[in-house]
Amino acid sequence: MYRRDDGAQGRNWLSGRGKLRISTAGTEQRDNRPVGIVDSGLGGLTGLRAFRALLPEENVIYFGDSGRVPYGEKSLKQLRVMARQNLDFLQSLGVKAILVACGTLSSNAGDLLDACSVPTVGVLRASVDWMSRLKGTEPLAVAATAASVASGAYQRELEGAVPGREIVAVACPEFVPLIESGHCDASDPLVQEAVERSLQKVKESRAEVLLLGCTHYGLIEQAIKDCLGPQVQLVSAAESAAAALASLLLRSGRTGGSGETRFYTSGDPAAFAEAASLFCGEAVTTEMVRFVQPAPIPEEDD
């Protein structure tokens, strides 16, 4: 059973040190085609909610690939195949732009996102851009999946954006399986114990800022805040990327729509609908969620 983490609902995910600003420069031409948002499962719902807050009239297609979760345990070869499959699927539905609300794909297949035939925004660069604006000298931390941390992409991008500051990267492989199985509440002992184990290195580093580099992690934000204390600012990759996509649409004159959302999942539609209703703040029934057969991925030794 999913329970809403009250600390993660309806708040500024960038924790109050300045609000997100998006450029409104562009033409008045309307483009009613949908925007596509993809994630390995439920985490991208945080990106959907953030995008909706910025451009509520946009039509959105959300694809949660829960049938192949967790992505963080996949090999580089598998992740790149999955990235192509996800991008192709959304393009087949006629989207005008894509938000890849998955830190694992953004950090392991960024070149594929860049090469996509429709404008595509990933969470990695958008969140690093936000982090680069933060002042201070204390270490900056990033929590992400094992595959993201192993790729070194977040570390390289942050080191280039904020030279001279120590970067502390921690892999949190326990988080996504917990969240996908319905454990999101800050009072849940399983969540509390996993957060404490996973973020011990961050606590010891005395980092001032923690980037939630996997969009799933925003769904247990209150538990993370309880663990680290109010002195650590949390930055959401999901909200950073949503703002970047909104700005892109406004600048290029691609805005337009009627506020419709269509959901697809490769997992259980009923479980997805329950979570979507909770985390998006809108009623989502099982009938509104279309099942997509999980696409095949190569074995690691293929």
6 belongs to a structural domain: no
CATH of residue 283: 3.40.50.1860
Could you tell me if residue 195 is inside a domain? yes
Q: What pLDDT was estimated at residue 79?
A: 97
Show the domain range for 209: 126-237
Q: Which residue, of 194, 212, 237, is where some domain finishes?
A: 237
pLDDT of residue 11: 35
**Do 220 and 90 fall within a single domain?**
no
In what helix (H) or strand (E) does residue 212 lie, and over which residues does it extend? strand 209-212
In a domain, 27, yes or no: no
Whether residues 77 and 117 share a domain: the answer is yes
Nearest-angstrom CA–CA distance, 193 and 56: 37
Q: Are residues 216 and 158 in the same domain?
A: yes
pLDDT at 28: 56
The pLDDT tens digits for 53-64 are 999 999 999 999
pLDDT at 13: 32
Do 233 and 245 belong to one domain? no
Same domain, 96 and 244: yes
283 and 148 inside one domain: no
Q: How many domains does the chain have?
A: 2
At residue 147's C-alpha, the angle toward residues 146 and 151, to 5°, is 115
- At residue 4, the pLDDT reads 46
Asked whether residue 230 falls in the same domain as residue 244, the answer is no
Q: H-type helices in 253-292, by residue range?
A: 269-280
pLDDT in tens, the chain (302 residues): 545 454 443 333 343 334 444 544 444 568 999 999 999 999 999 999 999 999 999 999 999 999 999 999 999 999 999 999 999 999 999 999 999 999 999 999 999 999 999 999 999 999 999 999 988 899 999 999 999 999 999 999 999 999 999 999 999 999 999 999 989 999 999 999 999 999 999 999 999 999 999 999 999 999 999 999 999 999 999 999 999 999 999 999 999 999 999 999 999 999 999 989 888 878 899 999 999 999 999 887 55
* Residue 22 is assigned to a structural domain of this protein: no
Mean pLDDT, the chain, as a whole number?
A: 90
* C-alpha to C-alpha distance for 142 and 214, rounded to whole angstroms: 9
Q: How many CB atoms lie within 10 A of CB 17?
A: 12
Please check whether residue 23 lies inside any domain of the structure: no
Tell me: do 216 and 154 sit in the same domain: yes
Q: What is the pLDDT of residue 18?
A: 40
Buried b (16+ CB within 10 A) or exposed e, 186-219: bebeebbebbeebbeebeebebbbbbbbbbbbbb
Could you say which of 102, 172, 184, 227 is catalytic?
A: 102
Q: What is the pLDDT of residue 301?
A: 54
pLDDT at residue 279, rounded to an integer? 82
Q: Does residue 262 fall inside a structural domain?
A: yes
| 280 in active site | no
Same domain, 130 and 223: yes
- Report the alpha-carbon distance of residue 262 to residue 280 in Å, rounded: 13
Q: Among 193, 210, 237, which residue terminates a domain?
A: 237
Side-chain half-sphere CA neighbours of 20 within 13 A = 29
Same domain flag for 183 and 232 = yes
Residues 210 and 268 in one domain: no
Taking each helix axis as running N to C, give the angle between helix 123-131 and helix 237-252, from 0 to 180 degrees, rounded to the nearest 10.
Answer: 100
User: Does 26 fall in a domain?
Assistant: no
Q: Is residue 181, in this structure, part of any structural domain at all? A: yes
pLDDT given for residue 29 in this prediction: 66
Name the catalytic one among 184, 214, 227, 280.
214
Active site residue 184: no
86 shares its domain with 152? no
What per-residue confidence (pLDDT) applies to 27? 45
